[in-house]
Amino acid sequence: MARWLVTGGCGFIGSNFILGLLLKRREDRVVNLDSLTYAGNPENLASIEKDPRYKFVHGDIRDTDTVARILGEGVDYVVNFAAESHVDRSILDSGPFIATNVQGVQVMLDAARKHGKLSKFVQVSTDEVYGSLGPEGRFTETSPLAPNSPYSASKAAADLLVRSYFKTFGLPAVVTRCSNNYGPYQFPEKLIPLFVTNAMQDLPLPLYGDGKNVRDWIHVSDHCSALMLAAEKGVPGEVYNIGGGNERTNIEITGMILRALRKPESLIKPVKDRPAHDRRYAIDDSKIRASLGMKPQVDFEQGISETVRWYAGNRKWWERVKTGEYREYYRKQYGSEPDRL
Protein backbone atom coordinates (compact mmCIF):
# COMPACT_ATOMS: atom_id res chain seq x y z
CA MET A 1 0.00 0.00 0.00
CA ALA A 2 1.43 3.37 -1.01
CA ARG A 3 0.25 6.85 -0.02
CA TRP A 4 0.18 9.56 -2.67
CA LEU A 5 -0.06 13.34 -2.42
CA VAL A 6 -1.39 14.66 -5.70
CA THR A 7 -1.53 18.44 -6.07
CA GLY A 8 -3.83 20.10 -8.61
CA GLY A 9 -5.91 16.92 -8.73
CA CYS A 10 -9.10 18.78 -9.67
CA GLY A 11 -7.56 19.96 -12.95
CA PHE A 12 -7.45 18.15 -16.28
CA ILE A 13 -4.44 15.83 -15.95
CA GLY A 14 -4.54 15.57 -12.15
CA SER A 15 -8.12 14.29 -12.11
CA ASN A 16 -7.39 11.75 -14.86
CA PHE A 17 -4.33 10.66 -12.86
CA ILE A 18 -6.26 10.11 -9.63
CA LEU A 19 -9.07 8.19 -11.38
CA GLY A 20 -6.52 5.95 -13.13
CA LEU A 21 -4.40 5.43 -10.02
CA LEU A 22 -7.31 4.28 -7.86
CA LEU A 23 -8.30 1.79 -10.57
CA LYS A 24 -4.78 0.40 -11.05
CA ARG A 25 -3.55 0.42 -7.44
CA ARG A 26 -6.48 -0.92 -5.42
CA GLU A 27 -4.62 -0.71 -2.07
CA ASP A 28 -3.20 2.80 -2.44
CA ARG A 29 -4.45 6.00 -0.79
CA VAL A 30 -4.56 9.48 -2.36
CA VAL A 31 -4.72 12.95 -0.87
CA ASN A 32 -5.59 15.65 -3.40
CA LEU A 33 -4.45 19.18 -2.50
CA ASP A 34 -6.08 21.74 -4.74
CA SER A 35 -6.86 25.44 -4.27
CA LEU A 36 -9.68 25.30 -6.86
CA THR A 37 -8.66 28.09 -9.20
CA TYR A 38 -10.82 28.68 -12.29
CA ALA A 39 -9.30 25.46 -13.69
CA GLY A 40 -10.03 23.22 -10.72
CA ASN A 41 -13.33 21.37 -10.84
CA PRO A 42 -14.26 18.88 -8.11
CA GLU A 43 -16.98 17.49 -10.44
CA ASN A 44 -14.18 15.72 -12.33
CA LEU A 45 -13.79 13.46 -9.29
CA ALA A 46 -17.45 13.09 -8.33
CA SER A 47 -17.28 9.32 -8.99
CA ILE A 48 -14.69 8.79 -6.20
CA GLU A 49 -15.77 11.52 -3.79
CA LYS A 50 -16.91 8.96 -1.21
CA ASP A 51 -14.18 6.40 -1.85
CA PRO A 52 -12.44 5.83 1.54
CA ARG A 53 -9.09 5.68 -0.26
CA TYR A 54 -9.50 9.30 -1.42
CA LYS A 55 -9.28 12.54 0.53
CA PHE A 56 -9.67 16.09 -0.77
CA VAL A 57 -7.91 19.02 0.92
CA HIS A 58 -8.92 22.48 -0.26
CA GLY A 59 -5.67 24.41 0.04
CA ASP A 60 -2.77 26.10 -1.71
CA ILE A 61 0.61 24.53 -2.45
CA ARG A 62 2.16 27.80 -1.24
CA ASP A 63 0.77 27.20 2.25
CA THR A 64 3.72 25.66 4.10
CA ASP A 65 1.67 24.51 7.10
CA THR A 66 -0.92 22.70 5.02
CA VAL A 67 1.69 20.94 2.89
CA ALA A 68 3.74 19.97 5.99
CA ARG A 69 0.63 18.67 7.78
CA ILE A 70 -0.35 16.43 4.84
CA LEU A 71 3.19 15.09 4.50
CA GLY A 72 3.30 14.51 8.25
CA GLU A 73 0.23 12.26 8.00
CA GLY A 74 2.33 9.90 5.84
CA VAL A 75 3.13 10.22 2.13
CA ASP A 76 5.32 8.04 -0.10
CA TYR A 77 4.90 9.78 -3.46
CA VAL A 78 4.24 13.42 -4.33
CA VAL A 79 3.04 14.18 -7.85
CA ASN A 80 2.96 17.93 -8.34
CA PHE A 81 0.46 18.90 -11.05
CA ALA A 82 -0.69 22.15 -9.40
CA ALA A 83 0.06 25.01 -11.76
CA GLU A 84 -1.22 27.84 -13.83
CA SER A 85 -1.14 26.02 -17.15
CA HIS A 86 -2.36 28.23 -20.00
CA VAL A 87 0.18 30.10 -22.18
CA ASP A 88 -2.28 32.79 -23.33
CA ARG A 89 -3.23 33.64 -19.74
CA SER A 90 0.47 33.96 -18.84
CA ILE A 91 0.77 36.58 -21.58
CA LEU A 92 -2.22 38.50 -20.16
CA ASP A 93 -0.89 38.31 -16.57
CA SER A 94 2.23 36.44 -15.50
CA GLY A 95 1.85 37.10 -11.73
CA PRO A 96 -0.10 33.96 -10.77
CA PHE A 97 2.33 31.85 -12.85
CA ILE A 98 5.34 32.92 -10.82
CA ALA A 99 3.38 32.57 -7.57
CA THR A 100 2.20 28.98 -8.11
CA ASN A 101 4.63 27.53 -10.64
CA VAL A 102 7.79 28.86 -8.97
CA GLN A 103 7.09 29.86 -5.37
CA GLY A 104 4.60 27.01 -4.92
CA VAL A 105 7.17 24.47 -6.10
CA GLN A 106 9.76 25.93 -3.73
CA VAL A 107 7.34 25.46 -0.80
CA MET A 108 6.55 21.89 -1.88
CA LEU A 109 10.25 21.02 -2.26
CA ASP A 110 11.17 22.49 1.10
CA ALA A 111 8.36 20.65 2.86
CA ALA A 112 9.36 17.42 1.09
CA ARG A 113 13.00 17.89 2.13
CA LYS A 114 12.04 18.44 5.76
CA HIS A 115 9.64 15.48 5.69
CA GLY A 116 12.63 13.38 4.66
CA LYS A 117 10.69 10.16 4.05
CA LEU A 118 9.51 10.41 0.47
CA SER A 119 10.13 7.61 -2.00
CA LYS A 120 9.78 10.07 -4.89
CA PHE A 121 8.81 13.64 -5.73
CA VAL A 122 7.54 13.94 -9.30
CA GLN A 123 7.53 17.42 -10.79
CA VAL A 124 5.12 17.41 -13.74
CA SER A 125 6.78 19.71 -16.25
CA THR A 126 6.41 20.36 -19.94
CA ASP A 127 8.23 20.15 -23.26
CA GLU A 128 7.64 23.91 -23.58
CA VAL A 129 10.70 24.53 -21.40
CA TYR A 130 12.83 23.61 -24.46
CA GLY A 131 11.35 26.42 -26.57
CA SER A 132 10.64 25.99 -30.25
CA LEU A 133 11.92 23.65 -32.98
CA GLY A 134 12.42 24.25 -36.71
CA PRO A 135 11.11 21.67 -39.22
CA GLU A 136 13.68 19.03 -38.17
CA GLY A 137 14.78 17.37 -34.93
CA ARG A 138 13.22 16.49 -31.60
CA PHE A 139 13.71 17.60 -28.00
CA THR A 140 15.85 15.29 -25.87
CA GLU A 141 16.41 15.56 -22.12
CA THR A 142 19.71 17.35 -22.82
CA SER A 143 18.27 19.98 -25.17
CA PRO A 144 18.95 23.45 -23.76
CA LEU A 145 16.18 25.13 -21.78
CA ALA A 146 14.92 28.07 -23.88
CA PRO A 147 11.40 28.97 -22.73
CA ASN A 148 9.56 31.64 -24.73
CA SER A 149 6.42 32.43 -22.70
CA PRO A 150 6.02 33.48 -19.06
CA TYR A 151 4.27 30.10 -18.53
CA SER A 152 7.16 28.04 -19.89
CA ALA A 153 9.72 30.26 -18.14
CA SER A 154 7.97 29.62 -14.81
CA LYS A 155 7.99 25.86 -15.47
CA ALA A 156 11.69 25.94 -16.42
CA ALA A 157 12.46 27.82 -13.19
CA ALA A 158 10.69 25.09 -11.22
CA ASP A 159 12.62 22.36 -13.07
CA LEU A 160 15.88 24.00 -12.02
CA LEU A 161 14.70 24.28 -8.41
CA VAL A 162 13.93 20.56 -8.44
CA ARG A 163 17.40 19.85 -9.80
CA SER A 164 18.94 21.97 -7.05
CA TYR A 165 17.01 20.14 -4.30
CA PHE A 166 18.25 16.82 -5.66
CA LYS A 167 21.85 18.03 -5.90
CA THR A 168 21.97 20.00 -2.64
CA PHE A 169 19.72 17.99 -0.34
CA GLY A 170 19.50 14.61 -2.04
CA LEU A 171 15.71 14.92 -2.42
CA PRO A 172 14.63 11.88 -4.48
CA ALA A 173 12.99 13.95 -7.20
CA VAL A 174 12.40 13.47 -10.93
CA VAL A 175 11.16 15.91 -13.57
CA THR A 176 8.90 14.80 -16.41
CA ARG A 177 8.47 16.87 -19.56
CA CYS A 178 5.42 15.93 -21.57
CA SER A 179 3.98 17.18 -24.82
CA ASN A 180 0.39 18.37 -25.44
CA ASN A 181 -2.31 16.28 -23.73
CA TYR A 182 -5.87 15.77 -24.91
CA GLY A 183 -8.81 13.84 -23.48
CA PRO A 184 -11.75 14.21 -21.08
CA TYR A 185 -12.03 17.03 -18.50
CA GLN A 186 -9.69 19.45 -20.29
CA PHE A 187 -10.60 23.07 -19.63
CA PRO A 188 -12.09 24.61 -22.80
CA GLU A 189 -9.44 27.32 -23.08
CA LYS A 190 -6.99 24.86 -24.69
CA LEU A 191 -7.06 24.20 -28.45
CA ILE A 192 -8.91 20.86 -28.62
CA PRO A 193 -11.72 21.38 -26.06
CA LEU A 194 -12.12 25.02 -27.16
CA PHE A 195 -12.56 24.08 -30.81
CA VAL A 196 -14.73 21.01 -30.08
CA THR A 197 -17.14 22.94 -27.83
CA ASN A 198 -17.20 26.05 -30.05
CA ALA A 199 -17.93 23.90 -33.10
CA MET A 200 -20.75 22.16 -31.24
CA GLN A 201 -22.21 25.62 -30.57
CA ASP A 202 -21.63 26.72 -34.21
CA LEU A 203 -19.22 29.39 -32.97
CA PRO A 204 -16.01 30.50 -34.72
CA LEU A 205 -12.76 28.57 -34.12
CA PRO A 206 -10.06 31.23 -33.54
CA LEU A 207 -7.01 29.77 -35.27
CA TYR A 208 -3.78 31.62 -34.52
CA GLY A 209 -1.50 32.78 -37.35
CA ASP A 210 -1.23 30.46 -40.36
CA GLY A 211 -2.43 27.41 -38.40
CA LYS A 212 0.76 25.51 -39.27
CA ASN A 213 2.28 25.37 -35.76
CA VAL A 214 2.94 21.77 -34.81
CA ARG A 215 2.23 20.04 -31.51
CA ASP A 216 3.01 16.41 -30.53
CA TRP A 217 -0.24 15.06 -29.04
CA ILE A 218 -0.59 12.40 -26.35
CA HIS A 219 -3.75 11.03 -24.74
CA VAL A 220 -3.95 12.07 -21.09
CA SER A 221 -4.25 8.44 -19.95
CA ASP A 222 -0.88 7.63 -21.57
CA HIS A 223 0.72 10.62 -19.84
CA CYS A 224 -0.74 9.46 -16.51
CA SER A 225 0.60 5.92 -16.95
CA ALA A 226 4.04 7.36 -17.68
CA LEU A 227 3.84 9.47 -14.51
CA MET A 228 3.09 6.39 -12.42
CA LEU A 229 6.21 4.77 -13.89
CA ALA A 230 8.25 7.89 -13.13
CA ALA A 231 7.04 7.83 -9.51
CA GLU A 232 7.42 4.11 -8.88
CA LYS A 233 10.53 3.37 -10.96
CA GLY A 234 12.14 6.69 -11.94
CA VAL A 235 15.73 7.28 -10.92
CA PRO A 236 16.14 10.29 -8.59
CA GLY A 237 17.78 13.28 -10.28
CA GLU A 238 16.67 12.22 -13.77
CA VAL A 239 14.55 14.09 -16.31
CA TYR A 240 12.13 12.06 -18.47
CA ASN A 241 10.58 13.32 -21.71
CA ILE A 242 7.11 11.94 -22.46
CA GLY A 243 5.54 12.18 -25.92
CA GLY A 244 2.83 10.67 -28.03
CA GLY A 245 4.58 10.57 -31.41
CA ASN A 246 1.59 12.33 -32.99
CA GLU A 247 2.88 15.50 -34.61
CA ARG A 248 0.08 17.48 -36.23
CA THR A 249 -0.41 21.09 -37.36
CA ASN A 250 -3.22 23.02 -35.69
CA ILE A 251 -5.07 23.18 -38.99
CA GLU A 252 -4.92 19.37 -39.24
CA ILE A 253 -6.37 19.07 -35.71
CA THR A 254 -9.08 21.58 -36.59
CA GLY A 255 -10.00 19.52 -39.69
CA MET A 256 -10.26 16.33 -37.62
CA ILE A 257 -12.59 18.03 -35.14
CA LEU A 258 -14.82 19.52 -37.85
CA ARG A 259 -15.08 16.18 -39.68
CA ALA A 260 -15.90 14.31 -36.47
CA LEU A 261 -18.72 16.77 -35.73
CA ARG A 262 -19.80 17.15 -39.39
CA LYS A 263 -19.36 20.91 -39.18
CA PRO A 264 -18.29 23.25 -42.03
CA GLU A 265 -14.78 24.68 -42.51
CA SER A 266 -16.41 28.12 -42.65
CA LEU A 267 -16.34 28.05 -38.82
CA ILE A 268 -12.55 28.53 -38.91
CA LYS A 269 -11.64 32.12 -38.11
CA PRO A 270 -7.96 33.04 -38.59
CA VAL A 271 -6.98 35.50 -35.84
CA LYS A 272 -3.85 37.40 -34.80
CA ASP A 273 -0.98 35.13 -33.83
CA ARG A 274 0.02 34.42 -30.23
CA PRO A 275 3.13 36.50 -29.37
CA ALA A 276 6.33 34.37 -29.46
CA HIS A 277 4.21 31.44 -30.65
CA ASP A 278 6.40 28.32 -30.57
CA ARG A 279 6.46 26.87 -34.09
CA ARG A 280 6.98 23.20 -33.44
CA TYR A 281 7.29 20.73 -30.57
CA ALA A 282 8.46 17.15 -31.07
CA ILE A 283 9.60 14.81 -28.35
CA ASP A 284 12.30 12.19 -28.24
CA ASP A 285 11.04 10.00 -25.41
CA SER A 286 13.29 7.01 -26.08
CA LYS A 287 14.77 7.33 -22.56
CA ILE A 288 11.54 6.64 -20.64
CA ARG A 289 10.52 3.97 -23.16
CA ALA A 290 13.84 2.13 -22.82
CA SER A 291 14.51 2.62 -19.11
CA LEU A 292 11.02 2.50 -17.57
CA GLY A 293 9.06 0.64 -20.25
CA MET A 294 6.67 3.49 -21.11
CA LYS A 295 4.51 2.76 -24.16
CA PRO A 296 1.52 4.89 -25.19
CA GLN A 297 -1.61 2.79 -25.78
CA VAL A 298 -4.12 5.16 -27.36
CA ASP A 299 -4.28 5.42 -31.15
CA PHE A 300 -4.47 9.11 -32.07
CA GLU A 301 -7.40 9.03 -34.54
CA GLN A 302 -9.41 6.85 -32.15
CA GLY A 303 -8.43 9.01 -29.15
CA ILE A 304 -9.62 12.15 -30.90
CA SER A 305 -12.99 10.60 -31.90
CA GLU A 306 -13.51 9.33 -28.33
CA THR A 307 -12.60 12.76 -26.94
CA VAL A 308 -15.05 14.52 -29.28
CA ARG A 309 -17.72 11.99 -28.20
CA TRP A 310 -16.89 12.68 -24.53
CA TYR A 311 -17.52 16.43 -24.96
CA ALA A 312 -20.71 15.68 -26.90
CA GLY A 313 -21.89 13.41 -24.08
CA ASN A 314 -20.89 15.79 -21.27
CA ARG A 315 -22.40 19.03 -22.49
CA LYS A 316 -23.53 20.06 -19.01
CA TRP A 317 -19.94 19.78 -17.71
CA TRP A 318 -18.49 22.22 -20.24
CA GLU A 319 -21.52 24.51 -20.48
CA ARG A 320 -21.13 25.19 -16.75
CA VAL A 321 -17.39 25.68 -17.13
CA LYS A 322 -17.94 28.18 -19.96
CA THR A 323 -19.69 30.67 -17.64
CA GLY A 324 -18.54 33.26 -15.09
CA GLU A 325 -14.80 33.99 -15.17
CA TYR A 326 -14.47 32.15 -18.49
CA ARG A 327 -16.58 34.77 -20.26
CA GLU A 328 -14.38 37.57 -18.97
CA TYR A 329 -11.22 35.74 -20.06
CA TYR A 330 -12.72 35.04 -23.50
CA ARG A 331 -13.53 38.73 -24.06
CA LYS A 332 -9.98 39.73 -23.10
CA GLN A 333 -8.32 37.04 -25.18
CA TYR A 334 -10.49 37.03 -28.31
CA GLY A 335 -12.17 40.44 -28.16
CA SER A 336 -15.62 38.89 -28.53
CA GLU A 337 -18.34 37.27 -26.45
CA PRO A 338 -17.90 33.48 -26.08
CA ASP A 339 -21.38 32.87 -27.50
CA ARG A 340 -21.51 35.17 -30.48
CA LEU A 341 -20.77 34.49 -34.15
- State the residues that interact with ligand DAU by CB under 6 A: 85-88, 126-128, 179-180, 190-191, 194, 206-208, 213, 215, 250, 274, 281
Q: Out of 60, 159, 247, 285, which residue is the one contacting ligand NAD (CB under 6 A)?
A: 60
Closest CA to 123 of 201, 8, 19: 8
- Look at residue 36 and give the partner it binds from ligand DAU, ligand NAD, none, a contact being a CB closer than 5 to 8 Å depending on partner kind: ligand NAD
Cβ-based nearer residue to ligand DAU, 118 or 178: 178
Q: How many residues does the chain have?
A: 341
34 or 285: whose CB is closer to ligand NAD? Answer: 34
22 DSSP β-pair partners: none
Minimum CB distance to ligand DAU, residue 215 (Å): 5
* Cα-Cα-Cα-Cα dihedral sign, residues 334, 336, 339, 341: negative
Cβ 1 vs Cβ 27: under 8 Å: yes
**How many Å apart are CA 174 and CA 124, to the nearest integer?**
9
Known active-site residue 151: yes
Burial annotation 239-273 (CB, 10 A radius, 16+ → b, else e): bbbbbbebbbebbebbebbbebbebeeebbeebee
Residue 180 burial class via C-beta count within 10 angstroms: exposed 0-12, middle 13-18, buried 19 and up: buried
Size of the site for ligand NAD (CB under 6 A): 30
- Does 197 participate in binding ligand NAD (rule CB under 6 A)? no
Q: Which of 3, 20, 36, 91 binds ligand NAD (CB under 6 A)?
A: 36
Pick from 40, 147, 204, 338 the residue near ligand NAD by CB under 6 A: 40
243 binds, among ligand NAD, ligand DAU, none (CB under 5 to 8 A by kind): none
User: In the complex, which residue's CB is closest to ligand DAU?
Assistant: 126
Give the residue with the Cβ less far from ligand NAD, 110 or 270.
110
Which partner from the list ligand NAD, ligand DAU, none does 82 bind, CB cut-off 5 to 8 Å by kind? Answer: ligand NAD
Tell which one of 61, 171, 196, 256 touches ligand NAD (CB under 6 A).
61
Amino acid code (one letter) for 97: F
CA distance 5 to 341: 43
| Residue 35 interacts with, from ligand NAD, ligand DAU, none (CB under 5-8 Å by kind) | ligand NAD
Instruction: Give the CA distances from residue 179 to residues 107, 125, 126, in Å, rounded to whole numbers and listed in that order.
Output: 26, 9, 6
Strand pairing of 173-178 and 205-208? unpaired
Taking alpha carbons only, the member of 67, 78, 71, 77 closest to residue 2 is: 77
Question: Among 5, 6, 10, 161, which residue sits at the site for ligand NAD (rule: CB under 6 A)?
Answer: 10
Q: Which residues bind ligand NAD (CB under 6 A)?
A: 7-8, 10-14, 33-37, 39-40, 60-62, 81-83, 85, 100, 104, 124, 126, 155, 178, 180-181, 187
Catalytic residue numbers, as ranges = 127-128, 151
